[in-house]
Amino acid sequence: MPKHAGTMYTIIFQNYFIYSMVVLSASASELVFQESLSKIRTYSNASTQEEAVKGLIQRVIGDRASEFNVRVNPQIQREGADVFKIYKSENCSVVDIEGSSGVAAAWGFHHYLKYFCNCHISWDDNQLNLSSVLPPVDIQKVANDRFRYYQNVCTTSYSFVWWDWEQWERHIDWMALNGINLALAFNGQEAIWQRVYSRLNMTTGEIDEHFTGPAFFAWGRMGNIRGWGGPLSDKWHDQSLALQRLILDRMRSLGIVPVLPAFAGHVPRAFKRLFPDANLTLASKWNGFEDKYCCPYLLSPQEPMFKKIGSMFLEEMVNEFGTNHIYNCDTFNEMSPSSGDLDFLRNIGESIFHSLTQVDEDAVWMMQSWMFNHEKT
């Protein structure tokens, strides 16, 4: 067991109307807890982040990007919180922006456009009526929060699933401009699961009947449904992997920490054929889907296969995409556990977490708190 795998801490993040829970490896020591948090950071150097922000500014305002000077200086951080400084005198034609990270610098640029130039940048369109002479400024801002988290796991199916790189590039720029430094990055995971299932001797037909179509990925990934709208083509898998590489490269270059997916315990129905003695429980029925499309199996957390499959998936994921040591999975999205026994629930949590730390000893597990709240809405 890794040196920090002891008591679990939880932190609730609230940002952009998204509620999420982070479960971290830590001992009872606050010092060790903070050490775990320190793993959630960018690993891109300052010059890489500077160049990425310069590219962002060029994409936003074109030729007028030459009127902005950007510097990324991690030393101006305040107790782990991002800082940006913006300065322009009356007599100077250049706006100087200094940020503790690429995200902080991009955030500072947007702050200047919004509050000093009366501009507006949205998901879909911009209003960028800059005056011929940019206004003077001398301000410094310190972020209230160390982590500014964005998305929930369903946003993929609500908005992103059909996007190409041009749309993603614009949206990642929007993330950085709004100071987001922690975001889900879920593309391409079905291709990774295809590799894992094939290694376990699952047939192509069995894999096809498990994967949902792209518009329903969110609920297929969380074990609510299976097969609905599928199957997926090899072309889809290849394109998803290529797109994910572009997304991760751009996020990381700007200083955004991507959250990768992990194994939540749901497995295809074919597991009954492959492992007839395994302890498998049908997931609870969700939203009235008939048996053909609902209820994959939930593998018992006490099965050695649980940790093996979770580790196989994460190993493939990390080998393909690298890691920033933070992962998301949700076992009971809008579903009731088959047992309310605390030992059962504890074993699921421990098995998921151990499947992460077997591959990445610095792993941090992030999960939604929606499962505690959805019945109240």
Reported as a single tens digit per residue, the pLDDT across 152-163 is 888 889 889 999
Q: CA dist 351 to 91, 100, 302, 336, Å? A: 62, 37, 8, 19
Owner of token pair 């699921």: 348
Could you tell me if 32 and 94 lie in one domain? no
228 φ/ψ sector (left φ>0, alpha ψ -120 to 50, else beta): beta
Could you tell me if 228 and 311 lie in one domain? yes
Whether 206 shows a pLDDT value over 60: the answer reads: yes
Could you tell me if 232 and 321 lie in one domain? yes
Whether 63 shows a pLDDT value over 80: the answer reads: yes
Q: How far is CA 107 from the centre of its chain?
A: 19
- Which of 95, 126, 142 is the last residue in one of the domains? 142
Tell me whether residue 135 is in a domain.
yes
Tell me whether residue 200 is in a domain.
yes
CATH number, position 71: 3.30.379.10
CA distance 346 to 349: 5
Tell me whether residue 3 is in a domain.
no
Whether 13 shows a pLDDT value over 50: the answer reads: no
Q: Kindly state the average pLDDT of the residues 14-41.
A: 58
Could you tell me if 187 and 333 lie in one domain? yes
Could you tell me if 74 and 196 lie in one domain? no
Could you tell me if 161 and 51 lie in one domain? no
Average the pLDDT over each of 172-176, 199-203, 285-289 and give the range with the smallest value: 285-289
Which pLDDT does position 29 carry in this prediction? 56
Sheet holding 364-368, edge to edge: 8-15, 18-25, 364-368, 326-328, 257-261, 182-184, 149-150
Tell me whether residue 364 is in a domain.
yes
CA distance 87 to 80: 23
Tell me whether residue 288 is in a domain.
yes
User: What percent of the chain lies above the pLDDT cut of 90?
Assistant: 72
Q: Kindly state the average pLDDT of the residues 306-320.
A: 96
Whether 6 shows a pLDDT value over 50: the answer reads: no
Q: Kindly state the average pLDDT of the residues 214-237.
A: 95
Whether 244 shows a pLDDT value over 60: the answer reads: yes
Which pLDDT does position 337 carry in this prediction? 63
Could you tell me if 85 and 163 lie in one domain? no
CATH number, position 224: 3.20.20.80
State which residues form the domain around 304: 8-40+148-376
Could you tell me if 184 and 330 lie in one domain? yes
Tell me whether residue 298 is in a domain.
yes
In sequence order, what are the residues at sequence separation of 6 or more whose Cβ sits closer than 8 angstroms to the Cβ of residue 203? Answer: 270
Could you tell me if 111 and 222 lie in one domain? no
- Which of 142, 166, 181 is the last residue in one of the domains? 142
Q: Are 346 and 307 in contact (CB under 8 A)?
A: no
13 vs 167: which has the higher pLDDT: 167
326 vs 5: which has the higher pLDDT: 326
Which pLDDT does position 17 carry in this prediction? 33
Whether 24 shows a pLDDT value over 50: the answer reads: no
Q: What is the domain count for the chain?
A: 2
pTM, two decimal places = 0.89
Per DSSP, the three-state class of 134 is coil
How confident is the prediction for the chain on average, in pLDDT? 88
Tell me whether residue 210 is in a domain.
yes
- Which of 107, 142, 177 is the last residue in one of the domains? 142
Q: How many residues does the chain have?
A: 377
Which pLDDT does position 92 carry in this prediction? 95
Could you tell me if 169 and 187 lie in one domain? yes
User: pLDDT tens for residues 252-272?
Assistant: 999 999 999 999 889 999 999
CA distance 172 to 139: 25
179 vs 8: which has the higher pLDDT: 179
Q: How confident is the model at residue 2 (pLDDT cuts 50, 70, 90)?
A: very low
Per DSSP, the three-state class of 104 is helix
Could you tell me if 165 and 276 lie in one domain? yes
Could you tell me if 352 and 272 lie in one domain? yes
User: pLDDT tens for residues 189-198?
Assistant: 999 999 999 9
User: pLDDT tens for residues 327-363?
Assistant: 998 776 555 666 667 877 787 788 888 999 999 999 9
Residue 138, token pair as written in the block: 């001398």
Which pLDDT does position 27 carry in this prediction? 45
Tell me whether residue 1 is in a domain.
no
